[in-house]
Each structure stands twice: as C-alpha cells, then as structure tokens.
Structure 1
Amino acid sequence: MLTDKAFNGYENTSEKWVLSITALSGAFNGTTRTYLDGIQPEDGRTMKPICLLQLLRIGVIIYDWFDIPWLKAYYNFGPIFFRGLDPPDLSIQGAMHLNCHLNTFPNTYYFSYATKRTRKILGITVPSSILGIHPLLFIRVLQMSQWRHPPDVYPPYKGYRDEDWQDNDGALNTAYMTHPRLPIEHPSCFVENDSECQPLQPGIWYYKIVEADHISFIVNRERAGVQFDLIYDSIFERCRKHVFRKDPPTLPNEAHQ
C-alpha cells in the first residue's frame, strides 16, 4: 500500500519505510480449513447457507458484544479478528487472488514462523500430541490432516496435491504459512538454526517451523509461555541487527526533506 500510494493525501509514501516484516502463523496462501468449515471448494468464495463459518460469524459478534472480562482474558479474538473475518479470502482461491498484487521488496527483510502440530506415522499424517494440543483444536488438526480435495472438483491450482496441505496447526496449513507461494512463489530460505543464515539478506523470506497449535500464539498467547517470549526476543534481536545495515532505510519524515 505504501508503494502503491494508497493513502490519500500522502503522495510520498515508499516501501522503503518498512525495514522488516515478521509473520507468525501467517495465512499467506489460504487454508483448507475454510472448505471444512463451509466454503465451497468449487470457487473458494461461496459459503454454504448453513455451516460452521456462518455460526462462527454470529458467535464472534455475540462474544464481543457480551464483553466478559474474565472470558476475554482467556480467549481474546481482538479487533483485527472481529473486523477482518472474511472466510472467502482465506480459501486457496481467495488468497491467490490477493497475492496477485503482493510484492517482496529487495530492500526489506522478511522472516516467518510457521506453526505445526502434526507428524507422520506409517506414512499417515496425524496430530503430533494429545495433551500438547488445545482441546478445541485437536479435532480440527485431525480433520485438516485428512482433508482430500473432492475428486470431481477442479483443483484450485495446477500441481495441487493433498499431501502438501496435510501438516497444520489446527487452523492453517504449515507449508503454506512460510511465505507467499501462490500463484507465484516468492524467494525463500528454510532456517533450522539461526546461526546458519547470518547475516540475513533482504528480499528473501526466511522461515522456521515451530511446534505449536494455532491458539498458542494467535488467540491465547499466554499458553505459549517461554516459547513465545523466546520467539519475540529473537524477533527484536533480529530487528536491532537490521538497524545497523550498510544502507539505512528511508524514514517517513526524511522523505519530505
């Protein structure tokens, strides 16, 4: 939006104002969860008249309206979730449409954390733990790991394979949280050990796989405990290193000088 001058009255915006972007369980390429919850796989836009997504919309509105402090201390969807709930955009087809306008800029640093709560047993993808997964997500992790695109429906993109989408965190598919892949894959690099990819290079999506379900980091961050704190420590440490790069970023107030 900065590079497209999308803000009225601000003609001097630039993508160079953004030094780095860090994503945590990012829905870059959509999720098969939407089809399980009521989006029609035929077009990725149409919602069934009666489905879980319709009930979820009503439930979130009621939940926010009651505004019970002790309940929100445990589950707080927040204003972004409440206002931005648009299931068709989270389908694979919807995400591909949005990604057509998405850029990875050569002067910006990118890092992504993808969450995962599955593993393979005898070639079958199943939840990785019983006690380690939130009860509300265990069934959802299992459902997503067993999702199969309807054989009589044209796949959402050329080269689609069910097995690529089986690992998940109960809400999003792990392999497609790492970086924008559809319809065109952006430059990326898997990180197993932070020391192996130092210094980071701009214009590349570096990503790590974190063993956690979606609720741990997105809905109720306190559940993640020390793991959440360590991730944020690494994010801020990485940002501090970017500040001292050779080519300093253009700051908004400098653009007018």
Structure 2
Amino acid sequence: MVRLWISALQLSELFVSSMIHLLYGFYIFSTAVASDMSQALNECFRPNVSVGIKEVESRAITKKNDDLPPIVLVHGIFGFGKGRLGGLSYFAGAEKKDERVLVPDLGSLTSIYDRARELFYYLKGGQVDYGEEHSKACGHSQFGRVYEQGHYPEWDEDHPIHFVGHSAGAQVVRLLQQMLADKAFKGYENTSENWVLSVTSLSGAFNGTTRTYLDGMQPENGRFMKPICLLQLCRIGVIIYDWIDIPWLKAYYNFGFDHFNMSWKKIGVSGLVDCLLGNTGPFASGDWILPDLTIQGSMRLNFHLNTFPNTFYFSYATKRTRKIMGMTVPSSILGIHPLLFIRVLQMSQWRHPPDVPLPYKGYCDEDWQDNDGALNTISMTHPRIPIEHPSRLVVNDSECQPLQPGIWYVTLPSIIFSVTTITIMFGIA
C-alpha cells in the first residue's frame, strides 16, 4: 500500500510538472508570435521619414566599431539565437545595442560538443563538420548547416573575440577554446587558445546540476534516463517535433537535431518507431545536452578542459536561496515566479541516493543546496571538479586591478549587468 501511494504521488508530481512546463513553453511561444504581429502592424503604419537618418547612424557605428573585437553571447539549454522566435531576444535585446554583439543560434538541446563545433563555423563560415569519429560513434551525419558567410571570418590570434556564455553556453565556450588549442578543426591548422580574448560566464554550468536528476537522469552514472520522468516526455515531444518536420515551425524554433536526420522524409514511420523506442537518435547515443549537465558528465568534460594563461576569465554566480535555522529554503515567496519557486525548493532539498556511489570524492549534499532553480551555485563559480582551477573571489573590484589572465574572477551573489558593462570591463568601449 505504501509503495502504491508513493507511485501515485510521483505520477501526480510528474503530471503537474509536465503541465507547468508545457504551459510555460506555450506562453513563450505565444508571446513571440504576439510580438511579431505587433511589430508587423507598427511597421505598416510607421512613417519612413527617419530611414535616411538611421542609415547614416548605422554607417557611423560601423566605422566607430571597426577595430573593436566582437562580443559573442552563447545561450544555454532551450535557448535560441538571433532570428529564432521572431522578435524575442534571449539576451534581453543586447544584440540590438551594437552590431558587434553576436548571438549565434546553436542547438537548444544538442550536446556541448556539437554546439562548440557549430559555434566555430558560425564565426568562420563554411559547413559545420562534427568530425568523422564523433559522428560515427553518435550515429549522425558528419556535416551539418552551411554558413556561406561567417559572422567574423577574420577571427584569428590577431583578431580575438570576447565570449559570454549563459548556463550551458559557458561550457560550450570552454570546449571551443580547448578545440582551438588542440587544432581540432580540419583545414584550420593555425588555431590556438589565444583566439579567445576573454570568457565571461553568467550562471555557468561548470560542474553540473542536481536539476538533471530531479528531471529524470539516473544519478548512478549521469548517462541514462529513468523509465518514467519529465525528460522522457521531453524526449518523445522532441522526436515527434523533428519527425513531423514542418519547415516554417522549425524556422521559428529548432532543437538542433537536423544532423540526426529524424524527418519523416528520411526515416519514415519505422524510423520514428525506432527513435521512440530508444534504438536510434540523439537520446539513444547520449549525444544531447542533459548527460553533459549531470555532475558526472561535467566531470568527464572538465577532465579535458584547461584554463589558459593568456585569457581573461570572469564568472557571475546566482542563487535564489537562503538559510533559515540551518535549512536551505527559497529566498522569497512573492519575489520568485511560482514555477521557479518549486524548482528552487526541489533543488534545495535534493539528497543523493544513499544506495548510489557518490559522484566524486568529498561530495556533500549541503554544498549543492544553494541554487537558482536551474543550477547549483557551487557549480557556477568556476571549474572545480575533478580539478580545481585558479580562482579569486571578487569582493571589491578595485582590489582586482590590474586584472590577471588565467584566473577565474568570481562574483557572488547575483548581479545584473549589461553588455555595456562587459565592454567597459575590458576597456574596449
């Protein structure tokens, strides 16, 4: 009877959680459509007298910023770049402030590896090459999207770039820099880590998140999903979305799995069944974002990633929790969105299963209780598992001057800053 009650409670929680996430997704999508319709109506009735002035201003900005390095903003899980979801902006319109601010549209659910490869070709141009060995191992095409014109084709050691990564985007940038150091791009033998001038992390997923286990990843190894969980529902929805393959809808929002060729035009009904049963596709091979965001997956990534001596590193961590009588609880009831409140509460109460080996030596549940509803604060500060990278806690900005490369400057707690702040930080404005 007790087991029956527990199962019923778990199913109820799954139903409520899935409905909330579905409604939230619909809210975002409908907001984007409404914004596009509003913008279209405004353009119909807007006078054209200021067009000439705007063109002159645009040319002036281009000339002024000609010698400034671009700032590339890399989105996190379920994120999107410029051109997706109509007029919505993942980075609150930062790309509209300055044409040197670039927001690439990478796969919202693809693996850290695949996104790092896509980011390189987005900047340099050409057809995305995922690598022969990786593609065969993961069961997808070696080549992907074609960028006829790179967004910064002159990118090299003499023309380095500032990168800003949010959430999983921070790991994408770190892996890309490692690939540059390892000269991992065929036809580009002159790449180096010095192509990256700075890396700024906004709530970066450096060391994984316990959110993945709450949503359905197995804590035993961080590779597989539980049979019944929120991520299984997500998996089914993504597979069907890609299989239906409606061009205008995928142009509006794309999960990024086109190189897995899951369209009905290519795999038919039998292929859909295979994907749903977990025999083929990204969820079968593990080549998607969630395994990379488990603690174990992050450790596997971090083992091969370096903090380089000539690059500046900045990290801004966030949290929505506080301590009350020794317990970690959400920091506010009215000040946190209801959906986020539940997620913060769940993560603050997470306990590693006692019958499962700890993910690393020295793991302690209490260290992972502070969170912002998506990531644990301990994970956002700097790369620390399995190897502690050089870091310095920023209490007073003046104490960190002059800035030294090769060190992660960590700011706690959350602060709000804009792309303008980033440009001032590096003295490029």
Shorter chain as denominator, the TM-score bin is 0.7 to 0.9
1:27 aligned partner: 205
Q: 1:179 aligns with which of 377, 382, 399?
A: 382
Give per-residue Cα distances to partners, 1:27-86, cap 9 Å, x unaligned.
1110011111111111111111221112234456759978599xx9xxxxx76x755852
2:359 aligned partner: 156
Higher Cα Rg, which structure: 2
Q: Distance in 2 between matches of 1:118 and 1:103?
A: 31
Q: Distance in 1 between matches of 2:304 and 2:378?
A: 21
Q: CA RMSD in A?
A: 2.6
CA contact (8 A) 1:40 1:47 kept: yes
Could you tell me which amino acid in structure 2 is paired with residue 174 of structure 1?
Answer: T
1:10 aligned partner: 188
TM-score (normalizing by structure 1): 0.77
2:222 aligned partner: 44
Q: Distance in 2 between matches of 1:196 and 1:127?
A: 32
Q: Distance in 1 between matches of 2:370 and 2:256?
A: 26
The number of residue pairs the alignment matches comes to 218
Could you tell me which amino acid in structure 2 is paired with residue 27 of structure 1?
Answer: A
CA contact (8 A) 1:60 1:82 kept: no
Runs of 4+ in 1 over 4 A off after TM superposition: 58-69, 81-85
Q: Distance in 2 between matches of 1:115 and 1:58?
A: 32
TM-score (normalizing by structure 2): 0.47
Q: Distance in 2 between matches of 1:128 and 1:183?
A: 30
Listed as ranges, the matches of 1:103-142 within 5 Å are: 103-142=306-345
Q: Distance in 2 between matches of 1:232 and 1:178?
A: 20
Give per-residue Cα distances to partners, 1:5-33, cap 9 Å, x unaligned.
01110101011111110011111110011
2:305 aligned partner: 102
Shift, 1:106, TM fit: 0.5
SS at match of 1:19: strand
Q: Distance in 1 between matches of 2:396 and 2:334?
A: 27
Q: Distance in 1 between matches of 2:354 and 2:337?
A: 32
CA contact (8 A) 1:111 1:207 kept: yes
Could you tell me which runs of 5 or more consecutive residues in structure 2 were left unpaired when the two chains were aligned. 1-178, 258-286
Q: 2:399 aligns with which of 187, 193, 196?
A: 196
1:232 aligned partner: 419
2:99 aligned partner: none
Q: Distance in 2 between matches of 1:184 and 1:109?
A: 19
Q: Distance in 2 between matches of 1:166 and 1:236?
A: 33
Alpha carbons of structure 1 residues 115 and 82: separation in structure 2 relative to 1, 3 Å = farther
